[in-house]
């Protein structure tokens, strides 16, 4: 699943007329790069949630055939469902087995083919070193287990694997964040993680978009 329902407020004015996933990065849009990396890693069935200007996303990507993918869309209303609510609402499209979720506004060269297909718990998160704009981090990694109380903390990359059971106790089509679900699961040692030390960027501002575009142009 690619999360693509955000309004992109920090990207304004670039996102006044187009949704953030369709911002260009070299010769393709941000979300096209995401899809192509997933397909190259062997993941062909992809769910995309959208809300703000979502019809543009569907018009651009279609059914995904030109990328070698099969795309399904979880269409949200103007009410923001947040990350947890968006994933919960998309569960009928995601099935009964663990699935990958990637934030649509992150860029990471993590080898997606290495993502675990079997979970040891309810979630497995890819962590990265803290960027300058998020120095406090999110979760503490001890061995393979994550918790939210100890220090030091690493930053959640926005790439994770989840079991549907993590979300089923919550109603669909209702907004709620993801972090409280993860913290509840951490309390019972049901969340694992790993540190990735490669390139990662939260493409959340025009300046970071330019940084990514320059990096891509430079190979």
CB 162 within 8 A of CB 101: yes
CA 101-165-139 angle, 5° bins: 55
Could you tell me the pLDDT band of residue 124, with boundaries at 50, 70 and 90?
A: very high
The residues pairing with 195 across neighbouring beta strands, listed in sequence order, are 127
CATH (domain of 183)? 3.90.550.10
Strand residue runs (E) in 17-89: 24-25, 28-29, 45-50, 70-75
Structural domain boundaries, residue 154: 2-217
CA 97-30-131 angle, 5° bins: 85
Could you tell me the pLDDT band of residue 45, with boundaries at 50, 70 and 90?
A: very high
Quote the number of domains for the chain: 1
In the predicted structure, residue 137 carries a pLDDT above the cut 80: yes
Strand residue runs (E) in 7-144: 24-25, 28-29, 45-50, 70-75, 99-103, 106-108, 123-128, 140-142
In the predicted structure, residue 115 carries a pLDDT above the cut 90: no
What is the average per-residue pLDDT within 110-124?
88
Instruction: Work out the angle between the directed axes of helices 54-61 and 30-40 (0-180°, nearest 10).
Output: 50
Distance CA(5)–CA(3), nearest Å, equals 6
Distance CA(86)–CA(181), nearest Å, equals 13
What is the average per-residue pLDDT within 13-36?
90
What sign has the CA pseudo-torsion 144, 148, 154, 160? positive
Task: Using a cut of 0.85, tell me whether the model's pTM lies above it.
Answer: yes
Classify strands 99-103 and 155-162 as parallel, antiparallel or unpaired: antiparallel
**How many residues are given for the chain?**
219
Q: Which residue has the higher pLDDT, 192 or 16?
A: 192
Report pLDDT for 13: 86
Report pLDDT for 219: 65
Residues 6+ apart with CB under 8 A from 210: none
What is the average per-residue pLDDT within 82-105?
95
In the predicted structure, residue 117 carries a pLDDT above the cut 70: no
In the predicted structure, residue 216 carries a pLDDT above the cut 90: no
DSSP assignment string, 15-74: TSSS-GGGSEETTEEHHHHHHHHHHHTT--EEEEEE-TTHHHHHHHHTTSGGGT-EEEEE
pLDDT tens readout for residues 192-207? 999 999 999 999 888 9
pLDDT cut 90: percent of the chain above it: 75
What is the average per-residue pLDDT within 67-78?
93
DSSP reduced 3-state for 74: strand
**What's the chain's average pLDDT?**
93
Q: Which residue has the higher pLDDT, 64 or 77?
A: 64
What is the average per-residue pLDDT within 27-35?
93
Residue appearing with tokens 């995309």: 48
Report pLDDT for 14: 80
């Amino acid at each position: 699943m690619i999360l693509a329902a955000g309004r992109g407020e920090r990207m304004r004015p670039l996102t006044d007329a187009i949704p953030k996933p369709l911002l260009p990065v070299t010769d393709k849009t941000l979300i096209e790069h995401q899809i192509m990396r997933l397909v190259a890693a062997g993941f062909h069935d992809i769910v995309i949630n959208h809300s703000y200007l979502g019809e543009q996303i569907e018009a651009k990507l279609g059914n995904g055939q030109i990328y070698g993918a099969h795309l399904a869309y979880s269409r949200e209303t103007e009410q923001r469902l947040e990350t947890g609510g968006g994933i919960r609402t998309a569960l009928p499209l995601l099935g009964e087995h663990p699935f990958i979720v990637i934030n649509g506004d992150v860029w990471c060269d993590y080898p997606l083919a290495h993502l675990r297909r079997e979970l040891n718990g309810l979630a497995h998160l890819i962590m990265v070193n803290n960027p300058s704009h998020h120095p406090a981090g999110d979760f503490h990694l001890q061995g393979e287990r994550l918790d939210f109380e100890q220090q030091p903390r690493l930053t959640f990359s926005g790439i994770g694997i989840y079991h549907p059971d993590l979300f089923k106790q919550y109603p669909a089509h209702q907004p709620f964040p993801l972090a409280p679900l993860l913290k509840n699961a951490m309390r019972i040692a049901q969340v694992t993680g790993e540190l990735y030390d490669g390139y990662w960027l939260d493409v959340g501002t025009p300046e970071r978009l330019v940084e990514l575009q320059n990096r891509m142009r430079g190979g």
